[in-house]
Amino acid sequence: MRKTSKVIGFSLIFISMIVIAYFWFRSSTYYDNYLLSTMPDDYVICRPSNQPISVKELNSKLENKGVFKNKGTAFIEFGRKYGVDPILVTAIALFETGKGTSNVVKKYNNPGGLMDPKNPMEFQQFDTLEEGIEAMTSNLYRNYISKGLELPKEIAPIYAPVGADNDIHDTNSNWAPNVTKFINYLGGLEKHCDTKK
């Protein structure tokens, strides 16, 4: 009887440890990185039934994304204001800032990697992160969306040209596939997506 009780006790402890490890992994950046690694980078998925993303859902995706935690409202509001899919804006911001952790977004409130028009080798600075998100979204509409450039592969040659003088780490060569991965990680675009590969 005692032996059976010990076996049951050890089994319960073992199962508890597995459950704790599972939930820790699910809430960690390791799981996040795993999900990103499984996302397609060559086509943009569509949101189910083209339903817009909610603030709650977007905030859950931004939970461990540095300065973007709880900023879902700003991405959604400015996306709607300027007619740009909030998922596209968020995906670009996540890639440009190393998931909300870069010095540029932390010091300058610049989530889009926008360069200073007066000095193309310097980043623009904004007083608040919300102001930076709005400037980024407005720029996307004015220079890309309004001209029919709606997917990362269409936006990349102008937004992040390969070989640009300010791209010292050559991140632009992977800009489109990485932004696409983030779009798909966030659940896909409402419109202008690929219905099939």
Domain ranges within the chain, ordered by starting residue: 1-30, 39-185
The per-residue pLDDT for 43 is 84
pTM of the model: 0.81
Question: What angle, 0 to 180 degrees and rounded to 10, lies between the N-to-C axes of helices 175-185 and 152-159?
Answer: 140
What does each of the 197 residues of the chain score in pLDDT, given as a tens digit? 555 665 555 555 656 555 454 444 444 556 666 666 777 777 888 888 778 999 999 999 999 999 999 999 999 999 999 999 999 999 999 999 999 999 999 999 999 999 998 887 899 999 999 999 999 999 999 999 999 999 999 999 999 888 877 767 778 889 999 999 999 999 999 887 765 54
The per-residue pLDDT for 107 is 97
The per-residue pLDDT for 183 is 94
What topology is assigned to 39-185 in CATH?
Lysozyme (1.10.530)
Structure tokens at 129: 């992160």
The per-residue pLDDT for 120 is 79
Residue 118 to residue 138: CA distance in whole angstroms: 18
The per-residue pLDDT for 38 is 73
The per-residue pLDDT for 81 is 98
The per-residue pLDDT for 80 is 96
The CA distances from residue 65 to 8, 70, 90, in Å, are 41, 9, 11
The per-residue pLDDT for 22 is 47
Residue 173 to residue 152: CA distance in whole angstroms: 12
The per-residue pLDDT for 47 is 87
